[in-house]
């Protein structure tokens, strides 16, 4: 008997995660999505991964763009997380963005960011795991992370 996916969702809802926005560029089109299935995979070589549902529009954009930037959101960015979590095309026109090596958009006031070239795509159930080699990155010294726990956005108590 298969494990109940709703129970799995409730169990892992108890695992606090940071919130990121993953972006890519496909030609002149910018694409992005909120993601918390991300991790630093290796320091040597520098690799990160992001898991993306195969049904998501971002999935095809990553395959075609062959790059991504990962922006770590701070606790004032809940509105950005919600924007990029919604389905459909995303509007970037009102955002302060920058680029590094790949041209993927980076949120200028993110807590931290990496710019990656996709080196491998692995199957992972209903998701694919995009592994990216970190080509550039940076971080801000000020601010606190936006967290997600038990189905709600949270902040670190000082």
Question: pTM of this prediction?
Answer: 0.94
Indicate which CATH number applies to the domain containing 39: 2.30.110.10
Centre a 10 Å sphere on the Cβ of residue 41 and count the other Cβ atoms it contains: 14
Q: Give the model's confidence band at 51: pLDDT under 50 very low, under 70 low, under 90 confident, else very high.
A: very high
Q: Is residue 6 part of a domain?
A: no
pLDDT tens-digit readout, 6-18:
999 899 888 999 9
Q: Are strands 46-53 and 67-72 parallel, antiparallel or unpaired?
A: unpaired
Q: Give the model's confidence band at 158: pLDDT under 50 very low, under 70 low, under 90 confident, else very high.
A: confident
Q: Give the model's confidence band at 2: pLDDT under 50 very low, under 70 low, under 90 confident, else very high.
A: confident
Query: What residue numbers bound the domain in which 26 lies?
Result: 15-153
Give the whole-angstrom CA distance, residue 47 versus residue 50: 10
Give the whole-angstrom CA distance, residue 132 versus residue 120: 7
Q: Is residue 79 part of a domain?
A: yes
pLDDT tens-digit readout, 81-133:
999 999 888 999 999 999 999 999 999 999 999 999 999 999 999 999 999 99
Q: Is residue 43 part of a domain?
A: yes
Q: What phi, psi does 49 have (nearest 5°)? A: -135, 155
């Amino acid at each position: 008997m298969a494990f109940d996916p709703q129970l799995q969702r409730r169990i892992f809802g108890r695992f606090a995660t940071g919130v990121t926005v993953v972006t890519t560029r496909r030609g002149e089109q910018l694409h992005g999505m909120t993601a918390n299935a991300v991790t630093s995979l290796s320091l040597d070589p520098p690799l990160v991964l992001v898991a993306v549902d195969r049904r998501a529009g971002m999935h095809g954009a990553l395959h075609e763009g062959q790059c991504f930037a990962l922006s770590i959101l701070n606790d004032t960015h809940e509105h950005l997380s919600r924007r990029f979590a919604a389905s459909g095309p995303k509007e970037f026109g009102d955002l302060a963005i920058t680029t590094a090596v790949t041209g993927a958009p980076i949120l200028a006031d993110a807590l931290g960011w990496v710019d990656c070239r996709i080196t491998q795509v692995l199957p992972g159930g209903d998701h694919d795991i995009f592994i990216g080699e970190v080509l550039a990155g940076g971080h801000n010294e000020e601010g606190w992370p936006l967290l997600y726990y038990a189905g709600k956005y949270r902040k670190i108590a000082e």
